[in-house]
Amino acid sequence: MLDNRTQIISYKHNGVLHRVWQYAYVIRQTSDMIVLVNDHTSVIDGDGRRWKTKEPAVCYFFKNYWFNIICMLRNNAIYYYCNLSSPYVRDAEGVKYVDYDLDVKVFPSGDKVILDRDEFDFNKLDYNYGDKLIAIIENELQILLRKIDNHEIAFDSNTVMKDFEIYKNLRRQLDRKRKKSNRPNA
């Protein structure tokens, strides 16, 4: 399954490209969720700026929730960055979603902070989100905050570490396979 490499592509509500992560590996998928891992991956912002992530991340995307969860593994701890977003879709280009500005950062201590409320307030007018969409996003924010408090989904560190172990084991298998294929014939 590790050869199942894909991009993560985010857009803004008006359809403009927001950001692309190259590449992430699909390590697990169910009917309503996909789990990807990226590790020091290249990122391209919508304005063309390029940078690399600083650490591995286990990423959870959902078909039934309007948020995604990025679990950054740093200094033997998990730092969470959650984007309020559309449910994901996947096509030949990658895993795609619309970023709706609001973010929640969760620290290893459990402290959390809601980010970019001002950006959301500006964009809901500028992009004309509409009352129904605004209500969905605000409701999903409350669902996300409850899941954080209840240590559900990726907010259980054991889940994140198990998924990261799957990735590491698959990487080792892939590396062994590559080494074998690069050996000269005897």
Tell me what the mean pLDDT of segment 60-83 comes to: 98
Q: Which of 81, 5, 12 is nearest to 47 (CA)?
A: 12
19 is catalytic: yes
The predicted structure's pLDDT at residue 179: 84
Residue showing tokens 């409350």: 142
**Contacts of 155 by beta carbon, 8 Å cutoff, 6+ apart:** 69, 80, 106, 147, 148
Give DSSP secondary structure letters for 10-71: EE-TTS-EEEEEEEEEEEEE-SSEEEEEEES-EEEETTS-EEE-SSEEEEEEESSSSEEEEE
Q: Provide mean pLDDT across the span 82-87.
A: 99
Is pTM beyond 0.75 here?
yes
pLDDT digits (tens, 9 = 90+) for 121-131: 999 999 999 99
- Round the CA-based radius of gyration of the chain to a whole number and report it: 18
Instruction: Enumerate the domain spans of the chain.
Output: 5-182
Q: What is the DSSP string of 111-142?
A: -EEEE-HHHHHHHHHHTT--HHHHHHHHHHHH
> What mean pLDDT do residues 111-138 have?
97
pLDDT in tens, 154-179: 999 999 999 999 999 988 988 888 88
Q: Does 1 score more than 60 pLDDT?
A: no
On the question of pLDDT at 112 being above 80, the answer is yes
Pairing of strands 94-106, 67-74: unpaired
Which one of the listed residues 19, 28, 90, 171 is annotated catalytic?
19
- Residues 108, 17: Cα–Cα separation, whole Å: 31
Which band of pLDDT confidence, cut at 50, 70 and 90, is reported for residue 137?
Answer: very high
73-77, 102-106, 178-182: least confident range: 178-182
Class of domain 5-182: mainly beta
Per-residue pLDDT averaged across 91-99, rounded?
Answer: 97
Q: How far apart are CA 42 and CA 1, in angstroms?
A: 21
pLDDT above 70 (res 68):
yes
- pLDDT over 70 at 185, yes or no: no
Q: Is the pLDDT of residue 186 over 70?
A: no
